[in-house]
Amino acid sequence: MIKSERLEIINDIKSKRDAVALSHQQLKENSDNWNKSIILLSLITGGLESIKMKLELNGAGWSLVPILLSSVIAACSALIKFKDFNRKMEILIEANSRLTNILTKARNHTLMDDELIHEYNDGLECIETSMYPDERKMYLKQSHKNLIEIMKQEQKYYGMIDKVNSGEPVMLLNSDSESSTDSEDNVLKKDVLDITEHGIADKPKELQPIKEEDVDAVIHNL
- Each residue's pLDDT tens digit, 158-174: 988 888 888 888 776 65
111 or 20, higher pLDDT = 20
Query: What is the rounded CA–CA span in Å between residue 70 and residue 38?
Result: 10
pLDDT of residue 178 exceeding 50, the answer is no
Q: Provide the β-strand partners of residue 170.
A: 188
Residue 135's Cβ-side half-sphere holds a number of Cα atoms within 13 Å equal to: 19
With 0.75 as the threshold, say if the pTM is over it. Answer: no
- Residue 171: helix, strand or coil by DSSP? strand
What's the pLDDT at 140? 94
Q: What is the rounded average pLDDT for all residues in the chain?
A: 80
Residue 198 pLDDT: 45
**Looking at this protein, which amino acid is placed at residue 104?**
T
Q: Which residues of 194-213 are buried (b: 16+ CB within 10 A; e: fewer)?
A: eeeeeeeeeeeeeeeeeeee
> CA 16 to CA 126: how far, in whole Å?
10
Residue (of 22, 45, 25) closest to 33 by Cα position: 25
pLDDT at residue 213 greater than cutoff 80: no
- For residue 138, name the pLDDT band (cuts at 50, 70, 90): very high
Q: Could you read off the pLDDT of 63-77 as tens digits, one per residue?
A: 788 888 889 999 999
Greater pLDDT, 185 or 26:
26
Q: Comparing C-alpha atoms, which of 129, 77, 79, 71 is closest to residue 99?
A: 129
| CB crowding 33-45: b at 16 or more within 10 Å, else e | eeeeebeeeeeeb
DSSP state of 222: -
Cβ-contact 125, 20 below 8 angstroms: no
